[in-house]
Amino acid sequence: MRNALKYLLTLLTLIFFNSPQLLAQEQFGGLALYTVREDMAKDPIATLKKVAETGYAYVEAAGYIEGKYYGMEPLEFKKSLMEIGLTPMSTHQPTVTLENADQLIADAKDAGFKYFVIPVPPKGHYTRDPETRKRHMDGDLQPLVDMLNAIGKKCKDQGLQLLYHNHDFEYEKNKQGIVPIEYMIENSDPGFVNFQMDLYWVTKAGADPIAYFEKYPGRFKSWHVKDMNKEGNFAPVGTGTIDFKRILKEKKRSGMEFYMVEQDRNFETKALDAIKISHKGLVNLGFE
């Protein structure tokens, strides 16, 4: 009786506020807004409504510029998300440094985010081959780890969690014979620094996600769920070659607390159509 009453009250609330949740029978899972960045640049509110209508429950930002998220002040962005029916979960902050970290963390907190993500090594901590455009992490990795620990402590002091997001080059041996991600995990403080595993890029590097869950249990608090087609390109979840069911069975060992669908580029499908395919893929694969 209590559950039935709770359901009725929730339904009446949704009707009263005309929430987009009505259009999605069940909202679950997250979307990395980098996937729909072109749409967000044109009309962020309309795009966020479509994300909610598609069935996603929370989002990860990738559009912080000069103190604003997609042109909105942090508190305004948070309010907009809540009105639409989306939860701010994580934010990618590629421009963070020790000098600007306090301000970026304060803005992320005001926007309601729980996780502060560094999506690529800050400048000076990697090199890029001018011909292949491939990135490398050679030399001394300790300064980067020290920086992550310092920013991670600042995050924790403000009630946020710091995550580092990988691409493929962190999972490949460098010139010193070191796998950068392993050095980063082993030498960072788990009380301050954890990781967001991008399942596509780990696979692209030829590594096995489950092997890393076994070696470093509990360190991968978040996943980027993106698929790979037979040509090795990005694909909507469930349409490619990555065995997500096998990986999903190990989510507890991983430490995964949330996940984000992401597709860096679209080759045959528009972004807003691709996220619909991916959400259906989540259902078929058993994600919740």
**pLDDT tens across 85-121, in order?**
999 999 999 999 999 999 999 999 999 999 999 999 9
- The whole-chain average pLDDT of the chain stands at 92
Cβ atoms of 80 and 52 within 8 Å: the answer is no
Q: Give phi and psi for 240, each to the nearest 5.
A: -115, -150
Cβ atoms of 47 and 61 within 8 Å: the answer is no
Is the full-model pTM beyond 0.85?
yes
* Percent of the chain at pLDDT exceeding 90: 86
- If we measure between CA atoms, which residue out of 276, 205, 200 comes closest to residue 242? 200
Residue 137, pLDDT > 90, answer yes
Cβ atoms of 58 and 87 within 8 Å: the answer is yes
Residue 127 CB contacts under 8 Å (≥ 6 apart), including other chains: 135, 136, 138
Buried b (16+ CB within 10 A) or exposed e, 229-245: eeeebbbbbbebebebe
Instruction: Report the distance separating Cα 45 and Cα 51, nearest Å.
Output: 10
CATH topology of domain 30-285: TIM Barrel (3.20.20)
- Average pLDDT on 61-80 reads 98
Residue spans of the domains in the chain: they are 30-285
Instruction: Report the distance separating Cα 182 and Cα 160, nearest Å.
Output: 23
Task: Label residue 139 exposed, middle or buried (CB < 10 Å: 0-12, 13-18, 19+).
Answer: middle
Token digits for 131? Answer: 């011909």
Residue 9, pLDDT > 90, answer no
pLDDT band for position 25 (cuts 50, 70, 90): low
pLDDT in tens, 204-261: 999 999 999 999 999 999 999 999 999 999 999 999 999 999 999 999 999 999 999 9
- Average pLDDT on 24-40 reads 91
Instruction: Report the distance separating Cα 141 and Cα 187, nearest Å.
Output: 10
